[in-house]
């Protein structure tokens, strides 16, 4: 029987702060980083996963992944839905590590990296891109992936099965549509807070010329600056293009409402992360005050339980799951099912390093096998760092192309791993710190 015989964990950091790429109101100088995991096998391909961080502390994230080694190395390779569910349950259920969460933060993100690497491995061995590997599973297999503990007051196994069975007709047509036409993207590349007005206007116009019908601006540092930047962006793209804004948790409820009232004349499509990602009732208060502007959040939502509460409370209009924040594919399947139950569209968080590569698989799975629709849905697109991946995300005409290579697309090129290794890779050793 083929086994996982080793687990490598690498600290890889890209010096994105030098150009203020990725700068926002809470994160002025990010160095996009990956705590990167390789599951080594004794037969066939290896599996690849990552946790995304923004620089300092990436070594802590890597240590969190190392702490899971005893649960992974020596295990037979999980190939089936049931085996992948068992691996996820074993990682989430380690009682000593659970104390560090439970199911949140560094420890949980470490589980996500390993679970995603196991899914990458299984999909590679099946010769399928992850989205279609998942979307070809039966409703019973998919429900079996999910840990329903803490969910059943909002979503039962029976309801999840009903959702998946309702989406079974048309799976093949939707998969064919994805292969032909891809999945809608929106662009964040224009709107980083550290960019000049001139760069903002130029990149906003470029996004529309490239086929995007939605862009996003970072806000939250200065209300006067944000009103000016929003006005410039609206003038640059016209009335037909959606402009979302993202405060990256900068505000209390009061300032969030005040800010959005100031921006409202320029028709913002959603306000993302207006306040603390843990503050379910705060999101609800903002939503009540600013609708019809939508409230969106998710990239820092720790687990399926907080998503459940956000949905139960009617606190979000758009759910932004993240491939590398929660406990991996299994928990994201739960979150997609919750969103479908509550009829809230999922527009995943992406960008960073590797997040576009990963999350496109989850949206495409959702379209084929869960929600069965792409209405009011789009995946974030940030055009940075894709060249470091062996199966990079590709967007053409404002749409993500459907991945065709086997796996979950987290594999980083060997030469990039060597060059950006922290702190000893040449990119960091050569006096550029």
Report in angstroms how near the CB of residue 230 gets to Mg ion at its nearest. 16
Options 349, 361, 384, 388, the catalytic residue: 349
Regarding 427 and contact with Mg ion (CB under 5 A), the answer is: no
CB-nearer residue toward Mg ion: 160 or 319? 319
Question: Which C-beta is closer to Mg ion: that of 124 or that of 283?
Answer: 283
Q: Which is nearest to 11 in space by CA: 45, 38, 47?
A: 38
**Phi/psi class of residue 309: alpha, beta or left (left: φ > 0; alpha: ψ in -120 to 50)?**
alpha
Cis peptide, bond prior to residue 423, ω within 30 of zero: yes
What's the closest the beta carbon of residue 274 comes to Mg ion, in angstroms?
Answer: 11
> From the CB of 193, what's the least distance to Mg ion, in Å?
12
> By the 8 A CB rule, do 118 and 84 touch?
yes
Window 119-178: residues binding Mg ion (CB under 5 A): none
> What would the DSSP string read from start to end of 192-259?
-TTS-HHHHHHHHHHHHHTT-SEEEEE--S-HHHHHHHHHHHHHHH-SSSEEEEE-TT---HHHHHHH
Start-to-end C-alpha separation, the chain: 46
> Can you tell me the distance from the alpha carbon of 108 to that of 51, in angstroms, rounded to the nearest whole number?
10
Give the nearer residue to Mg ion in terms of CB position, either 27 or 156.
Answer: 27
* Angle at CA of residue 63, ends 60 and 64, nearest 5°: 90
CB of 234 or CB of 325, closer to Mg ion: 325
Task: Rule CB under 5 A: say whether 380 interacts with Mg ion.
Answer: no
Catalytic residue among 108, 216, 218, 308: 218
Minimum gap (Å) between residue 272 Cβ and Mg ion: 5
386 is catalytic: no
The CB-of-246 to Mg ion minimum distance in angstroms stands at 4
Q: What is the DSSP string of 294-310?
A: EEEE-TT--SHHHHHHH
**Which of 234, 349 has the CB closer to Mg ion?**
349
Q: Which whole-number Å values give the CA distances from 222 to 75, 126, 191, 230, 277, in the listed order?
A: 52, 51, 14, 12, 21
Residue 275 has what DSSP assignment? Answer: S
Q: How many residues bind Mg ion (CB under 5 A)?
A: 1
Question: What is the closest distance, in whole angstroms, from the C-beta atom of residue 168 to Mg ion in the complex?
Answer: 33
Tell me the three state secondary structure of residue 375: coil
Among 226, 246, 357, 374, binds Mg ion (CB under 5 A): 246
- Judge whether 205 counts as a catalytic residue: no
Q: Which residue, 103 or 246, is less far from Mg ion as judged by CB?
A: 246
Residue range at the interface with Mg ion (CB under 5 A); choices 94-102, 153-161, 246-254, 304-312: 246-254
The residue sitting closest to Mg ion, measured at its beta carbon, is 246
The residue ranges that bind Mg ion (CB under 5 A) are 246
Residues forming the active site: 218, 349
């Amino acid at each position: 029987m083929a086994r996982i015989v080793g687990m490598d964990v690498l600290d890889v950091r890209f010096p994105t702060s030098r150009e203020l790429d990725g700068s926002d109101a809470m994160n002025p100088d990010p160095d996009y980083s990956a705590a990167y995991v390789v599951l080594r096998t004794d037969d066939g391909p290896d599996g690849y996963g990552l946790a995304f961080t923004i620089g300092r502390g990436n070594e802590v994230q890597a240590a969190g992944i190392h702490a899971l080694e005893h649960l992974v190395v020596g295990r037979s390779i999980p190939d089936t839905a049931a085996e992948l569910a068992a691996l996820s349950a074993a990682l989430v259920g380690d009682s000593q590590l659970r104390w560090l969460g439970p199911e949140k933060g560094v420890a949980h993100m470490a589980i996500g990296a390993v679970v995603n690497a196991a899914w990458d491995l299984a999909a590679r061995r099946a010769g399928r891109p992850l989205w279609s590997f998942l979307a070809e599973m039966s409703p019973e297999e998919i429900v079996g992936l999910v840990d329903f503990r803490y969910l059943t007051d909002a979503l039962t196994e029976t309801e999840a099965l009903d959702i998946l069975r309702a989406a079974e007709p048309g799976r093949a047509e939707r998969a064919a549509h994805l292969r032909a036409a891809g999945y809608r993207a929106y662009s964040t590349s224009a709107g980083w807070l550290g960019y000049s007005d001139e760069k903002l206007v130029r990149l906003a116009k470029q996004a529309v010329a490239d086929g995007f019908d939605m862009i996003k601006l970072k806000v939250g540092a200065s209300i006067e600056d944000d009103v000016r930047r929003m006005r410039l962006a609206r003038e640059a793209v016209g009335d037909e293009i959606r402009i979302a804004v993202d405060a990256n948790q900068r505000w209390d409820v009061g300032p969030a409402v005040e800010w959005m009232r100031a921006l409202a004349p320029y028709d913002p499509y959603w306000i993302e992360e207006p306040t603390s990602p843990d503050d379910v009732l705060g999101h609800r208060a903002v939503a009540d005050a600013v609708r019809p502007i939508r409230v969106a959040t998710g990239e820092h939502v720790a687990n399926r339980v907080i998503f459940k509460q956000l949905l139960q409370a009617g606190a979000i209009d758009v759910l932004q799951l993240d491939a590398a924040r929660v406990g991996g594919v299994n928990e994201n399947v739960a979150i997609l099912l919750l969103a479908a139950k509550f009829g809230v569209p999922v527009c995943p968080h992406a960008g960073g390093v590797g997040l576009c590569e990963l999350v496109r698989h989850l949206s495409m799975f959702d379209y084929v096998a869960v929600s069965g629709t792409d209405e009011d849905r789009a995946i974030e697109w940030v055009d940075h760092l894709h060249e470091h991946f062996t199966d990079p995300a590709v967007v053409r005409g404002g749409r993500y192309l459907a991945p065709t290579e086997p796996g979950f697309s987290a594999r980083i090129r060997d030469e990039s791993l060597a060059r950006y290794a922290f702190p000893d890779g040449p990119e960091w050793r050569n006096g550029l710190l």
